[in-house]
C-alpha cells in the first residue's frame, strides 16, 4: 500500500483521463491520494475530485508563484471541509526572482508574509503544513521555527537535500521524496537520504511534474510512486514492502487519514 502525499490531480493535464489515472494507480497499490493546494483557481476542482473519490483528499494553500490569487476569507470555509487534511503547498521560492535588488527583496517580503499567514491558518485550524522550499532553506526554516509551526508539523515537499533542514524532523516535520531521487543528478539527495529518520519519510510524485526514471519526459502520474519506493529500498537496503508500510503509516499519522 502506498500513499501519494503530493499529486496535482486537479491539473488540466489530467482532465481527459483522470479516472484511468486513478485506477491504474489503485491497481498498482496506491490507495490514498492528497491533492495539494497551489493555485486557488483550481481549488474547487480539487474539492470536487475529493468528494467523488473516497481515497482522495485535498489541501488548501497558495504556492509562492500564485500569491496574487490568495484570499484567506475563501480559504476558511474550505479548511473546515471533511476531506481537507492540510494547509499548503506554501513556503518560499527564490528561484525565479528577477528585477533589481530592491524588487527582489520586495518579492521576498511578500512571499514571507503569505507563508506566515498560512502557518497561522494551519495552527488555527489544526492542520499540518505542506511546505515548498526552493533556494530559500534558511529563511523557510527561520519562519517555521519563529512562528511555532511545530504545533502542527508538516512535510517538506520535494525535499531539497539541504542538511540544514534535517533538524526539522525534531519539530514534527516529515520529508517528501519523489521522482527526483531517480534522476542522474540527484547525488546530493542520495547522500542525504540515509540521514532522514524512517519515521519521517513520505512518498510523493508531484505529478504531473518531476516524472521519475524510466519515464522522464512524459507526464508523471501516481502509479509512478512505485519507482520512488524501489529506489529508496535499493539505496537504504530495505525491502520495498517495508518502505511502503513505513511511509504509509507516516502519512496516516501526519494527515490524520485512515
d(CA 104, CA 127): 31
Residue 32: which domain range? 2-255
DSSP structure class, residue 56: E
The mean pLDDT of the chain is 95
User: What gap in Å lies between CA 14 and CA 191, rounded to an integer?
Assistant: 34
Q: In this model, does residue 250 exceed pLDDT 90?
A: yes
Domains in the chain: how many in total? Answer: 1
Give the CATH number for residue 67.
Answer: 3.20.20.140
Q: What is the crossing angle of helices 72-79 and 43-52, to 10°? A: 10
pLDDT (mean) for 152-158: 98
**Ramachandran angles phi, psi of 34, nearest 5°:** -120, 120
Burial class (CB in 10 A: 0-12, 13-18, 19+), 33: buried
Confidence of residue 73 (pLDDT cuts 50, 70, 90): low
18 vs 137: CA distance, rounded Å: 34
Q: How far apart are CA 57 and CA 5, in angstroms?
A: 9
Model confidence pLDDT, tens digit, residues 195-224: 999 999 999 999 999 999 999 999 999 999
Q: How far apart are CA 1 and CA 249, in angstroms?
A: 10
Three-state DSSP state, 35: strand
Amino acid at each position: 500500500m502506498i500513499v501519494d502525499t503530493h499529486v496535482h490531480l486537479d491539473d488540466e493535464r489530467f482532465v481527459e483521463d483522470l479516472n484511468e489515472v486513478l485506477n491504474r494507480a489503485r491497481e498498482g497499490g496506491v490507495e490514498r491520494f492528497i491533492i495539494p493546494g497551489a493555485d486557488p483557481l483550481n481549488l474547487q476542482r480539487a474539492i470536487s475530485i475529493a468528494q467523488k473519490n473516497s481515497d482522495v483528499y485535498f489541501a488548501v494553500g497558495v504556492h509562492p508563484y500564485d500569491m496574487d490569487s490568495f484570499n484567506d476569507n475563501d480559504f476558511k470555509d474550505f479548511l473546515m471541509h471533511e476531506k481537507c487534511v492540510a494547509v499548503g503547498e506554501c513556503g518560499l521560492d527564490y528561484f525565479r526572482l528577477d528585477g533589481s535588488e530592491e524588487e527582489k527583496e520586495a518579492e521576498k517580503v511578500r512571499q514571507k508574509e503569505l507563508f506566515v499567514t498560512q502557518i497561522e491558518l494551519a495552527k488555527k485550524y489544526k492542520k499540518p503544513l505542506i511546505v515548498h522550499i526552493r533556494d530559500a532553506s534558511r529563511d523557510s526554516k527561520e519562519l517555521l521555527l519563529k512562528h511555532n509551526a511545530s504545533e502542527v508539523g508538516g512535510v517538506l515537499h520535494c525535499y531539497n537535500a539541504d542538511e540544514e533542514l534535517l533538524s526539522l524532523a525534531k519539530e514534527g516535520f516529515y520529508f517528501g521524496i519523489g521522482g527526483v531521487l531517480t534522476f542522474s543528478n540527484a547525488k546530493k539527495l542520495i547522500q542525504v537520504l540515509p540521514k532522514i529518520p524512517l519515521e519521517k519519510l513520505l512518498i510523493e510524485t508531484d505529478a504531473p511534474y518531476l516524472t521519475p526514471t524510466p519515464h522522464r519526459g512524459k507526464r508523471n502520474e501516481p502509479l509512478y510512486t512505485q519507482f520512488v519506493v524501489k529506489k529508496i529500498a535499493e539505496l537504504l537496503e530495505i525491502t520495498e514492502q517495508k518502505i511502503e508500510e513505513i511511509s504509509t503509516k507516516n502519512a496516516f499519522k501526519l494527515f490524520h487519514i485512515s
